[in-house]
A and B are shown apart, each in its own frame.
Chain A
């Protein structure tokens, strides 16, 4: 049974790789961007789920950590000439003026920077609980944004940074997403993952079982910030331009939506929801422009897609209170069971 499952898993991975190759060949640049966005949202969704879903801390500070990652990576990879062009109001700080790093080390450092900021914020913030924690993390994320708007010589302020090299391709975005998925699965399977879950279930009991609750919360928060930073950096290099306004609360909300929709505390759910939400956001764009029904033309109402989207969200929450997957995970055994049940029911 176990061997059969690992063969199936291997086949699944190969299938996904082939799919990736196929999409890479056939998609135009518009579709490609959405496809990459899916992967980045998987990374971001999983990192938020680690804190919100698995550790049970309601954090709303994700956009801030993404901003740290995106800016760090951008400042490290932009060419000196490009930096001079961007910083026309005030010159950039001298120590950054001539750095032009390759993408990989820059990506790692941006994750580490976000993790350090996350670690520093965690110490005061994680003494709070529930909604107080949510407000405090939200506050910190806004503080990061405001600082970035006002440090003209470091981040170019409200003007943002343009002309980021388009490093993010299928291999980077999906590679990172796959790594994050594997990291999360292995983390949750191990002793630390179970300790985090026990903190979610009952903090007092976890503490009484000898788990250093505060330390584990800080670890979880820091790791989540690390992946948020990497996701932010990938996003910056996909879009090619970043500015502080991009990292408003709305961005955190989008990721939170993915986590809630997929199931708070489910890796599978987050992956599915990240893809569905990203694709749907684009597909429903049709509703914003005018539609020709032949007999009459419906005038486009900008913003209609968000209405439809909200309705869909409400429907899901009404029928699946705990998100699409709850806290369940995908496994070949459960899939097999479900298929057999459908077969048994069969045509009457």
Chain B
């Protein structure tokens, strides 16, 4: 089953072509990598998929629905959740509240029934709360539920961000450099965690990552960008020996 397909999406900022003719296709339950040197346009590609920037050209199709140029909150509602390169947690809220808030998009009551606490709202709130607790249990953050988000160690903050994204009920998860700034121990745990998420939540994952050990260990297939252009595509073994990729990363003599 085809999950996500981008058809030659291009983003131009003024005179700079940040991403050019990127065509990605992701099947259900795959873990796909998007790699490339700094400034290659990986995050721009993410921003086009999630609706933060509308693409200059091209279309994004998610579960056979054209989502090109839709607002980010709408895209999330359809089932694409993301994390950020530099962690963007709700700093002053607790771990529990961070995840709880990500359930808000599925709330059917209006603001007044939330103030009056109508039975319908109370039931939904209880469900949201239970879902939150279950999710925290699954990702192993239940014992820090009441801590402030920023008081967590770095690795756990990354994990919380993923948990928060999962709480929106996605079928596709976009991870923007989940291993950035992690030590070997933490990145090893992260790899296990990503597999765990795929099994537990029946998830499809697209990730940007610099950490080669993580990418090669986790991804089944990957796309390599350089200066906005897709220079290679395929399974890890193929990418590792691709002369163009080696050139992009190491340069030529």
Cβ-based interface call for B115 (8 A): yes
- Asked if B93 and A201 sit within 8 Å, CB to CB, the answer is yes
- Asked if A194 and B97 sit within 8 Å, CB to CB, the answer is yes
Within the assembled complex, what's the spacing in Å between the Cα atoms of A187 and B111? 8
Contact with B along A171-201 (1 / 0, CB 8 A): 0000000000001001100111111011001
Cβ-based interface call for A288 (8 A): no
Cβ-based interface call for A207 (8 A): yes
A-B pairs with CB below 8 Å: how many? 100
Cβ-based interface call for B84 (8 A): yes
Cβ-based interface call for A16 (8 A): no
| Neighbour of A202 across the interface among B72, B77, B89, B103, CB < 8 A | B89
Q: Identify the A interface with B (CB < 8 A).
A: 183, 186-187, 190-195, 197-198, 201-202, 204-213, 219, 223, 327
Cβ-based interface call for B196 (8 A): no
Within the assembled complex, what's the spacing in Å between the Cα atoms of A104 and B98? 40
Nearest-Cβ distance from residue A283 to partner chain B, whole angstroms: 34
Q: Which residue of B lies closest to A186 (CB)?
A: B115
| Neighbour of B90 across the interface among A183, A190, A197, A212, CB < 8 A | A197
- Asked if B114 and A202 sit within 8 Å, CB to CB, the answer is no
- Asked if A212 and B114 sit within 8 Å, CB to CB, the answer is no
CB-defined contacts of B72 to chain A, threshold 8 Å: 207-208
- Asked if A192 and B88 sit within 8 Å, CB to CB, the answer is no
Interface residues on B, range: 35 or more
Nearest-Cβ distance from residue A214 to partner chain B, whole angstroms: 9
- Asked if B114 and A187 sit within 8 Å, CB to CB, the answer is yes
11 additional contacts, CB 8 Å, given A183-B115, A210-B105?
A: A186-B116, A190-B121, A191-B100, A191-B103, A197-B90, A201-B91, A202-B91, A204-B84, A205-B84, A205-B88, A208-B81
Q: Which residue of B lies closest to A207 (CB)?
A: B72
CB-defined contacts of B232 to chain A, threshold 8 Å: none
Q: Which residue of B lies closest to A212 (CB)?
A: B73
- Asked if B92 and A211 sit within 8 Å, CB to CB, the answer is no
Within the assembled complex, what's the spacing in Å between the Cα atoms of A184 and B221? 50
CB-defined contacts of B103 to chain A, threshold 8 Å: 191
Cβ-based interface call for B42 (8 A): no
